[in-house]
Structure formats: C-alpha cells, structure tokens
Amino acid sequence: GQNIDQPTEMTATEGAIVQINCTYQTSGFNGLFWYQQHAGEAPTFLSYNVLDGLEEKGRFSSFLSRSKGYSYLLLKELQMKDSASYLCAVRKQDGQNFVFGPGTRLSVLP
C-alpha cells in the first residue's frame, strides 16, 4: 500500500520556527519532495531529498530518514506570507509518479 501522513493543521507565530513532519510508506522510493501551495494557487517546489540528512535552502530546510520513512520541513523566521499548505510527496521508482500527502495547513499569526 501507499500512505503518507502529515498533520492537518499547524499554527505558529511570526518570527518563530516550525517543523512539519511527514511519514510515508510507499512501494518504491526515488526521492521526497516538499511543495508549498497558497490558497487558490498551484503548488510550488520547495525542496528535494533523496539521501538521508538535512538539505538547507535559505529559511527552509528539509530532512530525510529513509530507514524510518520520515521527513520534516523546517521553516525559520516565519513570515506572514508563509501561511499556506505544505505538501509532502514521494516520487516512486521511475518517471514522475508521485504520491502526495494530504498537506499541512500552516497559519502564521502576528
């Protein structure tokens, strides 16, 4: 089977740090992606992990543990514009065959 879990909603304060977790069980693994989706807009790419460890990209970092089927997205110095849904997605073995998680709706409060 294929299953990706994320918390449904999270709330954080402007300037703070938030960690969004993602656990997955999929048949085949060829990378884990995080996307940001603002309400009414298309998803946009944030990060990619294929090996274990931390990938840092400005205010955003993503971590992967393949043995645990676990990833997290870390957002630092939160800004109001970071209020959005964050989608965790696993790419299966070949091609662009993705399984997406349900998304985590993040609300950043002043």
Token pair for 86: 């964050």
Of 47 and 78, which CB lies nearer to another protein in the complex structure? 47
Contact 75, 18 (CB under 8 A): yes
Amino acid code (one letter) for 60: F
Among 101, 104, 106, 108, binds another protein (CB under 8 A): 101
Tokens of 55: 């990938």
Q: Which of residues 64-93 bind another protein (CB under 8 A)?
A: 87, 89, 92
Are 43 and 29 a contacting pair, CB within 8 Å? Answer: no
Does the protein bind another protein through residue 28 (CB under 8 A)?
Answer: no
- Going by the DSSP 8-state scheme, the letter that residue 16 receives in this structure is -
Interface residue with another protein, options 69, 103, 104, 108 (CB under 8 A): 103
- Residues near another protein (CB under 8 A) are 31, 33, 41-45, 48, 50, 87, 89, 92, 94-103
